[in-house]
Amino acid sequence: MRRKLKIYLPFTSNELKRQLSYKGAFYLFMLISLFGSFISYYLWMAIYGNSESGVLGGFSKNEMIIYVFMVYVTSSIVTVSIADWISDDVVMGTVSMNLIKPMDYRISLIFRALGSMLYRFLAPGVFIWIGIEVYKVKVLGMDFPNILSILLFILSCIMSFLIYVLFDFCFGMISFFTTHIFGMLLVKEALLSFLTGQLIPISFFPESLQHVFDYLPFSSMVYTPVMIYLGKYTGETLCYMLLRQCIWVIILYLLGSLIWRKVTKRLIVLGG
């Protein structure tokens, strides 16, 4: 175990260092993605202003404010797009180097993503989170969440991270078959922002669609941790949601291994 960590931890620290060296651009990009949150914020304020009932899709106005910004914090931490790296590796041919080294390509990617995740958590994530908390208590007059729900939120985020990264690994395998992954990445971004609840809470979707989503991994990526944070899941539902995340981690891990085995077989044929 310790030997393993010694092999893979440098991927994490390298990624952290790499991110730190491009701070300026990074903050500007974060600012841009915050635009989106502010647009949603004002849009939702107008929507609640125009609605006769104070509760929409199970959210009160104040809860929606927290939702909009916590979704931003959560997704900026969780959604580390490793498919981009895989596609780079394949296009540049460096993936063959990764294959001949005595290590697991996927694990190395996950550790690299971990570096990215840690950086995003430390850099803007945690500060915006504190900002939200201060706003929540001072302006909205709501209570601090208790320690337990914060811990559960973090636990859920870690699983979300694994689900996202493992899913993205499977997705990135497309780049072994076609070099035209750019358009696919656009489609993925658009689809995920919708299905993970980043654009709009999943409770706004028609019932029938929500049932379909129950069998897909996407709501476990961002929606579940934020709902846990908001205290929307309690008791049995909470356990069920965490269990579902666990199961998705396992399923996507196995699926990834399966696809990887098929893909590398194909590569051997081509290389021979």
Partner 1 sequence: MEQKNTTFKRYFKLYRLLIGQFLKAIMQSKVDFFMGLFGFFFSQVMGIAFLYLVFQQIPTLDGWTFDQLIFIYGFAQIPRGIDHLLTDNIWMIAWRIVIKGEFDRYMLRPMNLFFQVIAEKLQPDALGELLVGSILIILSISKGIVIIDIWHVVLFLISIIAGALIYTSIKLFFASFAFWIKISGPFLQVAYDMAEFAKYPTEIYTKIIRFLITWVIPFAFVAYLPASYFLKADVSATVIGIECIIAILFWCISYAFFNKGTSIYESSGN
Stretch that binds partner 1, among 5-13, 42-50, 137-145, 226-234 (CB under 8 A): 42-50
> Residue 162 carries which DSSP code?
H
Dist CA 99 CA 128 (whole Å): 39
Contact string 92-131 vs partner 1 (x = CB under 8 A): ----------------------------------------
Task: Decide: is 189 part of the binding site for partner 1 (CB under 8 A).
Answer: yes
Stretch that binds partner 1, among 72-80, 98-106, 176-184, 234-242 (CB under 8 A): 176-184
Taking CB under 8 A as the criterion, the residue among 7, 10, 19, 36 binding partner 1 is 36
Residue 141: phi and psi, rounded to 5, are 65, 30
Q: Cite the beta strand spans of 85-167 per DSSP E.
A: none
CA angle 240, 212, 221 (to 5 degrees): 55
Long-range contacts of 145-148 (CB under 8 A, 24+ apart): 145/229, 145/231
Stretch that binds partner 1, among 160-168, 200-208, 251-259, 263-271 (CB under 8 A): 200-208
Total binding residues toward partner 1, as defined by CB under 8 A: 37
Task: Decide: is 190 part of the binding site for partner 1 (CB under 8 A).
Answer: yes
Task: Decide: is 173 part of the binding site for partner 1 (CB under 8 A).
Answer: no
What are 119's two structure tokens?
A: 């950086």
Stretch that binds partner 1, among 38-46, 141-149, 154-162, 234-242 (CB under 8 A): 38-46
Give 59's strand partners.
Answer: 56
Dist CA 97 CA 93 (whole Å): 8
Q: Which is nearer to partner 1, 105 or 204 (CB)?
A: 204
Q: Which is nearer to partner 1, 13 or 62 (CB)?
A: 62
Candidates 182, 130, 200, 170; CA nearest to 262 is 170
Q: Which is nearer to partner 1, 122 or 185 (CB)?
A: 185
Dist CA 78 CA 213 (whole Å): 19
Q: What is the identity of the amino acid at 61?
A: K
Taking CB under 8 A as the criterion, the residue among 191, 212, 216, 254 binding partner 1 is 191
* Contacts of partner 1 in 203-242 (CB under 8 A): 204-205
Whether 219 and 169 have beta carbons less than 8 Å apart is answered as no
Q: Which is nearer to partner 1, 38 or 144 (CB)?
A: 38
Minimum CB distance to partner 1, residue 140 (Å): 17
Task: Decide: is 185 part of the binding site for partner 1 (CB under 8 A).
Answer: yes
Taking CB under 8 A as the criterion, the residue among 2, 6, 21, 25 binding partner 1 is 25
Dist CA 112 CA 142 (whole Å): 37
What are 115's two structure tokens?
A: 């570096």
> Residue 212 carries which DSSP code?
H
Taking CB under 8 A as the criterion, the residue among 187, 268, 269, 270 binding partner 1 is 187
Residue 94: phi and psi, rounded to 5, are -70, -10
Binding site for partner 1 (CB under 8 A): 24-25, 28-29, 31-32, 35-36, 38-39, 42-43, 45-47, 49-51, 56-57, 178, 180, 182-187, 189-191, 193-194, 199-200, 204-205
